[in-house]
Structure 1
C-alpha cells in the first residue's frame, strides 16, 4: 500500500501564502492556509495508506489529526525538500502539497500495478501531486521550481527515466485571491470555503482591482 506524503509549512502569519497579502491580511492568509491544510490532512486521513507523513517546515499544532508521522523538511530549495521527502520512503509513495483543499480520497487512491509514476499537473504550470512506485530522489533534484514550466520539466524527467506515467486530473493551487475564490467554489463544504467566507468582504473584494 502507498505512503501518502503531505509537504507543508506551519500556518503562521507572514510565513505562508504571502501572495494572498494583499488583499488579505497576514493573519487571514495564515487562517486560510491552516484551513487548506486541515482539509488536506482530513482527506489524506480518509484515504487508504500504508503510512501517512506530514513533511513539515515548522512545528505541528492542534490542527494535526492523529495517525500522521511528522518529518522535518530539510534545508535547501524546494526540489531538495521534495526529494528528501521521497528519500524516507521504502515503497510506493504519493506526495501532495497543502494548497489543494478540493482534493478527494478518490484522487489520492492510486494503484501502481500498471504504471511507475503518477503526475498531477497544476493550472499554474507546476504540479500538485507526484507519485513514484520506487521513490528516487534524483528524479526531483535540479528541477526548477515555482516556474510556469516546472510541471512540464518534472514530467519530462519521469519520461526520460523510462517511467510509465499516469496523469491525474489538473487541479488549481491556492496562491492568489482569485485562486482562493475559485477553489472555494469547487469545494463549498470545505473548511477552506468556510474560512474564506469569514474574511472581510471589503478586504476580499479588492482582489481583482
Structure 2
C-alpha cells in the first residue's frame, strides 16, 4: 500500500509561517499557512496514493478535508519527527511538507512511482528538501541528519546513496519561508489558494 505523508503545523497565528512577519501580520501569516496547507492537501487527494496521512503538530481544523487521516507528530528535533512519520508505514511512502503549495498531483504521482528506484529526493532551492520517497521506509535514514541548514538536502541525499539505494530526483521547488519566497511561489502558481490570498493581502497593503 502506497502512502503519502504530509508533515505540517496547524496554521495558528504566532506559530505558523512566523518568518513571514513583520511583512505580514501574524494573523495574515497564519492565513497564508492555512492556504498553503489546503493547496497541499488538495494535491494529495488527487495523487494516486492508497493512503494519505497528515502528520500534524497541533489540532485539525475546518481546513481538513475528508479522505485525509490525521496523526500527531512525534517529539524531538525535525529529523526525529520525520523519522517517526516514516515509522507509521510499512509499504512505499512519499513524505512532503506544507511549504510548497505549488506542488501538483503529477509531481506527487512521480514520487510515488518506485518502479525503477529505491528512493525519490525532491530538493528545495534553500538547500533543504521538499519531498522524500522511500520504497522501503527506514526511519534510520533520517536520524542525525542536520535539519534547517544550507546543506540539509546534500546531507540527506548522501545518506540515501551511502545506504546503497538507487536515488532519483524530483524537480527543485521553492519552499515558502520568507516574504520573497511567498511572492515567487504566488507568481509561479497563480491559480492556487495561496496565490489568491497572497495577492489580495499585498493589494490591501498597497
Gaps in structure 2 of 5+ consecutive residues:
none
- State the shift of 1:131 in Å: 0.2
Q: Does 1:71 find its partner at 2:92?
A: no
Q: How does 1:159-198 map to 2 (within 5 A)?
A: 159-198=161-200
Distance in 1 separating the partners of 2:113 and 2:193: 28
Q: Does 1:123 find its partner at 2:160?
A: no
Residue 153 (structure 1) aligned to one of 152, 155, 160: 155
- State the shift of 1:198 in Å: 2.0
Residue 137 (structure 2) aligned to one of 110, 135, 138: 135
Q: Write the deviation string for residues 56-98 of structure 1: whole angstroms up to 9, x where unpaired.
A: 0000001011011101001100000000000010100000000
Q: Does 1:3 find its partner at 2:3?
A: yes
SS of the counterpart of 2:83?
helix
Q: How does 1:23-172 map to 2 (within 5 A)?
A: 23-109=23-109, 110-172=112-174
SS of the counterpart of 1:48?
coil
Gaps in structure 1 of 5+ consecutive residues:
none
Provide TM-score, normalisation by structure 2.
0.97
SS of the counterpart of 1:65?
coil
Provide TM-score, normalisation by structure 1.
0.95
How many residues are matched? 204
RMSD: 1.0
